């Protein structure tokens, strides 16, 4: 039985949420943010997860995942706003068991 | 003033299919869209990407689905107001509506169907001094290419690294006298054939490629005369008539949010038990723009919603009239253009 994992997500108002994430639903971080409604609907995951809008940009706050971006993600982040070295697109991070304890912050609206 | 039965706001797949269903009921449609071409997100965001959940199509490219929908509705002769945004709405005493766009175009309709998807696509703008001055009154900054002829024999600087920057650079290389493509990186992200084509045009000297670079300022007193570009830390100045930043688009619900409609989670609440009508009698919302318990933002759901909306409008326009559902296979389709499509008649013949 796959285990749920715990993530710490800081929303756009600076509020910290500790959320449980299932690892057996083929979810990604963007979808998790929408599932818990941590950002206003319509302001996150606008393109549906194609790495084409950067509305799900997150800052990775600890070393639970690599900061290495895939090529689509990298190309989108070249053109996005508020990009930092630790920026990733939530839609490009699949939720797996090794993400347990990940801490992220949702970047401001584009 | 443009007059029609149903005024559809949004030319995405749901809005386009509504024209077909309305046509079967002999209702005329007119569509307003902020983008210069029909298709909505499918045409603007991912025309070359496949969709796998359109019933009957194991796989269809988003751009092809739009082309097919345009072909499917053409005999119902929809009108289009493209490149304009629906701004204000007035309900007249006889129950009809007048919708005026940001360009002042007026549309009178018996019912309104908002098929606005994620909202109006607004261009993402670079952060540059004096940008606002140059984007007005043909002073040289454009975010959309509405009429390519405008650039004939002119010098154009395009900025961006995605499909639209690539595709317009390719297209304008045959129209403009000079095309310069500026991008922050050496790598571009687009369909492989577009990237290859730009490579070819660059080698032929038809497109000037400036990378890794960024436009950082303008020169010109009345309108743009040149742009300043920072390349690898150095600066250069390129003479140009137009600067076209193509950095993608962000959707905003826009003026519709002020029409007095009930809004929840950036979407318009509708009655899904019946006809997808909003809290304002005669205004419907279909497709991704609406919300109701159990809503799924899927194209196929938008098609269904469009169909029921048309039935409701038919009843509204023809009160008390009995309606009998007809199948296109049985009845065929009579276009407003006089064409008729119908099933081929079977032969009745003995086999000896």
B104 part of a folded domain: yes
Q: Please answer whether residues B53 and B300 qualify as being in contact, where contact means their C-beta atoms are separated by less than 8 angstroms.
A: yes
pLDDT-derived band at B324 (thresholds 50, 70, 90) equals: confident
The mean pLDDT value for A51-72 works out to 92
Provide the strand spans (E) within A1-44.
5-10, 16-21
Is the CB of residue B254 less than 8 Å away from at least one CB of chain A?
no
Tell me the pairing of strands B290-291 and B283-285: unpaired
Residue of B nearest to A54 (CA): B250
Q: What angle do CA B14, B61, B82 make, to 5 degrees?
A: 45
Instruction: Among A47, A55, A78, select the one facing B161 at the smallest CB separation.
Output: A78
Please say if the pLDDT value at position B78 is more than 80.
yes
Q: How far apart are CA B238 and CA A84, in angstroms?
A: 30
Same domain membership, residue B261 and residue B165: no
Task: Determine phi and psi for B21, rounding to 5 degrees.
Answer: -65, -35
Q: Please answer whether residues B171 and B273 qualify as being in contact, where contact means their C-beta atoms are separated by less than 8 angstroms.
A: no
Q: Please answer whether residues B122 and B135 qualify as being in contact, where contact means their C-beta atoms are separated by less than 8 angstroms.
A: no
Task: Determine phi and psi for B30, rounding to 5 degrees.
Answer: -135, 140
List, in order of start, the domains of chain A with CATH numbers.
5-106 (3.10.20.30)
pLDDT in tens, B86-112: 999 999 999 999 999 999 999 999 999
Is the CB of residue B88 less than 8 Å away from at least one CB of chain A?
no
Q: Please answer whether residues A70 and A92 qualify as being in contact, where contact means their C-beta atoms are separated by less than 8 angstroms.
A: yes
Chain-chain contact of A53 with B185 (C-beta, under 8 angstroms): no
Between B146 and A44, residue with greater pLDDT: A44
Chain-chain contact of B250 with A50 (C-beta, under 8 angstroms): no
Residue B243's CATH number: 3.50.50.60
**Share of residues in chain B with pLDDT > 90 (%):** 79
Contacts of B162 in chain A (CB under 8 A): 75, 79
Q: How far apart are CA B123 and CA B126, in angstroms?
A: 10
Q: What angle do CA B321, B326, B327 make, to 5 degrees?
A: 165
Tell me how many residue pairs between chain A and chain B have CB atoms under 8 A apart: 48
For residue A33, the model assigns a pLDDT of 97
Chain-chain contact of B266 with A41 (C-beta, under 8 angstroms): yes
Please say if the pLDDT value at position A1 is more than 70.
no
Same domain membership, residue B66 and residue B40: yes
B74 part of a folded domain: yes
Torsion of CA B268, B273, B279, B281, to 10 degrees: 120
B201 part of a folded domain: yes
- Name residue A88's beta-bridge partners: A58
Residue B247 Cα, gap to closest chain A Cα (Å): 7
Chain-chain contact of A46 with B187 (C-beta, under 8 angstroms): no
Residues in chain B: 352
Q: How far apart are CA B336 and CA B327, in angstroms?
A: 18
- Domain, as residue range, for B203: 125-247
Please say if the pLDDT value at position B147 is more than 90.
no
Is the CB of residue B133 less than 8 Å away from at least one CB of chain A?
no
């Amino acid at each position: 039985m796959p285990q749920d994992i715990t993530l710490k997500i800081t929303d756009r108002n600076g509020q910290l949420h500790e959320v449980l994430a299932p690892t057996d639903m083929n979810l990604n971080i963007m979808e998790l943010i929408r599932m818990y409604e941590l950002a206003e609907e319509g302001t996150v995951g606008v393109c549906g997860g194609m790495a084409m809008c950067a509305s799900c940009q997150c800052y990775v706050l600890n070393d639970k995942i690599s900061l290495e971006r895939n090529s689509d993600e990298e190309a989108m982040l070249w053109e996005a706003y508020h990009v930092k070295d630790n920026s990733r697109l939530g839609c490009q991070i699949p939720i797996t068991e090794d993400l347990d304890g990940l801490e992220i912050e949702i970047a401001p609206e584009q | 003033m443009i007059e029609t039965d149903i005024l559809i706001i949004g030319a995405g797949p749901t809005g386009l299919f509504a024209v077909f269903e309305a046509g079967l009921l002999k209702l005329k449609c007119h569509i307003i869209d902020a983008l210069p071409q029909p298709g909505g997100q499918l045409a603007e965001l991912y025309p070359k990407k496949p969709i796998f959940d359109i019933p009957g199509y194991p796989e269809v490219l988003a751009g092809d689905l739009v082309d097919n929908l345009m072909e499917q509705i053409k005999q119902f002769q929809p009108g289009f107001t493209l490149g304009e945004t629906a701004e204000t709405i007035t309900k007249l005493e006889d129950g009809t509506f007048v919708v005026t766009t940001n360009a002042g175009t007026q549309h009178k309709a018996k019912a309104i169907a908002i098929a606005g998807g994620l909202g109006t696509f607004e261009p993402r703008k670079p952060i540059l001094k004096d940008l606002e001055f140059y984007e007005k009154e043909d002073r040289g900054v454009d975010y959309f290419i509405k009429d390519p002829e405008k650039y004939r024999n002119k010098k154009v600087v395009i900025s961006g690294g995605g499909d639209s920057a690539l595709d317009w650079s390719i297209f304008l290389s045959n129209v403009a006298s000079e095309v310069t493509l500026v991008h922050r990186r050496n790598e571009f992200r687009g369909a492989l054939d577009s990237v290859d084509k730009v490579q070819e045009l660059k080698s032929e000297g038809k497109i000037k490629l400036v990378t890794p670079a960024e436009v950082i300022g303008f020169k010109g007193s009345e309108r743009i005369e040149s742009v300043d570009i920072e390349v690898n830390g150095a600066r250069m100045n390129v003479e140009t008539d137009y600067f076209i930043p193509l950095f993608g688009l962000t959707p905003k619900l826009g003026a519709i949010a002020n029409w007095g409609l009930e809004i929840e989670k950036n979407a318009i609440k509708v009655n899904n038990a019946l006809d997808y009508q909003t809290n304002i009698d005669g205004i419907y919302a279909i497709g991704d723009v609406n919300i109701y318990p159990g809503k799924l933002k899927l194209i196929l759901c938008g098609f269904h919603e469009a169909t029921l909306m048309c039935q409701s409008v038919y009843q509204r326009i023809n009160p008390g009239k009995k309606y009998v559902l007809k199948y296109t296979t049985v009845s065929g389709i009579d276009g407003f253009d006089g064409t008729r499509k119908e099933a081929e008649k079977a032969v009745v013949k003995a086999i000896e």
